[in-house]
Structures are given as structure tokens and as C-alpha cells.
Amino acid sequence: MSAAGAGPGAPPGWPREVPPPQAAGWEPKAVGWLLDHCPAEYRGYPVVLRHPRLLAWLAGHQVDAQLEAARRAYAQVRRDLGAPLGPEVVAEALATLEQEGARLIALRRGVRLVAEALDRT
């Protein structure tokens, strides 16, 4: 998840788990963090591992897809599951989806910041 920054020199929203881009050895940690937010199968594709910028691009698409899925679920949960689950469960589901949406928005910002830093290296 992203935080206010990983430390001195990290922009707001920089992932807490990744050292700032001016720190020595930050790129391998950034690659690991990006892989953590992609399907596990990506670890088996040599081209993805050789090209961190490609990985960041793919991670951005993955996070965007997750955010879209959470938004779609939020819009449909009451209609699709309201009767079988009841209003209390639907209310909990909506709160959970709101929380997940906020997490994914922060994650998307972190991925974009890492991608931008990779572009500068």
C-alpha cells in the first residue's frame, strides 16, 4: 500500500515498501513491490523481469482493472445480492468496497510514481 512517502526525498504517495528513487538499490525493491501487485504468473515471464518499466505499465493496468471491478461491484451488490444477503450484509459489503476502492486509488498513485521514477533512470 502507499503511504505519505517512504522517507526523505520520496514524493507524497510513494509506496512505503520502496526506498526513495534516489536511494541506492531502490529499483530491485521497486520491481519486487510491483510484482506483488500483479498476477503471480508475471514472475515467470522473462521480458517482464528484464524491463521494470514494462512491469510498471502492466501493474498500472492490473490496478486499474481491480479498481474498475470494485466500482462495478459497488454499483451492483445491492441489486444482485440484496435479497439473498439482506441489508446488513449489503451495508457491510458497500463499506468494504469503499475501503478497497480507497486502497486501490492509493496503490494506483504509488504505481504511477514508481513508473515515473523508472522513466528517469
For 50, the enclosing helix (H) or strand (E) is helix 46-50
pTM of the model: 0.89
pLDDT of residue 4: 47
List pLDDT tens digits, range 29-54. 999 999 999 999 999 999 999 999 99
Q: Does residue 6 register a pLDDT over 80? A: no
The pLDDT value given to residue 5: 53
Handedness of CA 82, 83, 84, 87 (dihedral sign): positive
What 3-state class would DSSP assign to 14? Answer: coil
Q: Which of 24, 2, 14, 34 is nearest to 121 (CA)?
A: 24
Fill in the amino acid letter for 56. A
Average pLDDT, the chain: 94
